[in-house]
Structure 1
Amino acid sequence: MNLIIRQAEEKDIKPMALMDVLCFSAPWSETSFEKEIRENHLAFYIVAEVDGILAGYAGLWCIVDEGHITNVAVHPDWRRRHIGEALVSVLLEHTIANGIKSHTLEVRASNEPAISLYRKFGFEPAGTRKNYYEDNGEDAIIMWRMVE
């Protein structure tokens, strides 16, 4: 497997939106990804390619010295191959090198694989957002990670 992680480009917008439909019950629209990639100067998105095929992506907003992870997605065909782990690792390394001192995210309370992944990187639960997800009213766990 030849895995390449690189910064997302405009050509990735449509594949990212299609992947979101496969990965999430409340996917982002193609327009949302367009705004993130083209217009949001606080946003930093990366993609994972395996032999030229988009296998995953991750994004974050840099707000002063804080990184808010917005999305981490791995195509169902490419799961359990450490691609999500590689994406989070690169996202953290890049943003820490550029002055981010803490990272936060929300994750579905039922998403044990994601929670486990984030814990590997030092994220800890810090609270709950009740009824956060509009599609089913599920709670979100707020997780934080501080740069040491």
Structure 2
Amino acid sequence: MNNTMTFRYMREEDIDQILIVEKLSFTMPWSRDAFYNELHHNQFAKYIVLEDEGKIVGYCGAWLVIDEAHITNIAILPEYRGKKLGEALLLKMMEIAKRHGIIRMTLEVRVSNVVAQRLYEKLGFQRGGIRKNYYTDNLEDAYVMWVNI
């Protein structure tokens, strides 16, 4: 990560840039309303962005409920991938979660997304199960992964 990159909490005015990251990262991107609701109506939601000189290059969201965190989404713009930015984002979210008293974190990942699985395993996540037909676009299964933080 270079010196021009910074983390901060997501704001409503970031949604336009977040939607670009979403569309370039996922086959079923979240809508503007979904992000708006997360920011304004979900008391458990925490979202952070990674900026490079004012341009949002990635973001990560989680629901922090009692002592567990559930990663809702994490994405990096394609041209910024392969630079350990996803790892930096997830580590930052883990740090935030820990500050909020979270002791365990979970996420789902496509069984075909080996790159993401390697990152999660590198950070200590382990497979805890499988959700059959989890992804509605192609009915792909998801691994459920957990880590103690």
User: After TM superposition, is the score higher than 0.5?
Assistant: yes
RMSD: 0.8
1:96 and 2:130 aligned: no
Partner SS for 1:127: strand
Aligned to 1:115: 117
The 8 Å contact of residues 5 and 49 in structure 1, kept in 2 or not, is answered as yes
Aligned to 1:141: 143
Corresponding residue pairs, total:
147
CA distance in 2, matches of 1:20, 1:11: 15
1:34 and 2:27 aligned: no
What does residue range 31-110 of structure 1 map to in structure 2 within 5 Å?
31-110=33-112
Q: Which residue identity lines up with residue 131 of structure 2 in the other structure?
A: R
Q: Deviations along 1:56-98, whole A, 9 cap, x unmatched?
A: 0000001111000000000111111111111001000111111
Partner SS for 2:138: coil
Partner SS for 2:82: coil
Partner SS for 1:144: strand
Question: Greater shift after overlay, 9-18 or 43-52?
Answer: 9-18
| Uncovered stretches (5+) of structure 1, i.e. residues with no partner | none
The 8 Å contact of residues 42 and 63 in structure 1, kept in 2 or not, is answered as yes
The structure 1 segments of at least 4 consecutive aligned residues displaced by more than 3 Å after TM superposition are none
The TM-score with structure 2 as length reference comes to 0.96
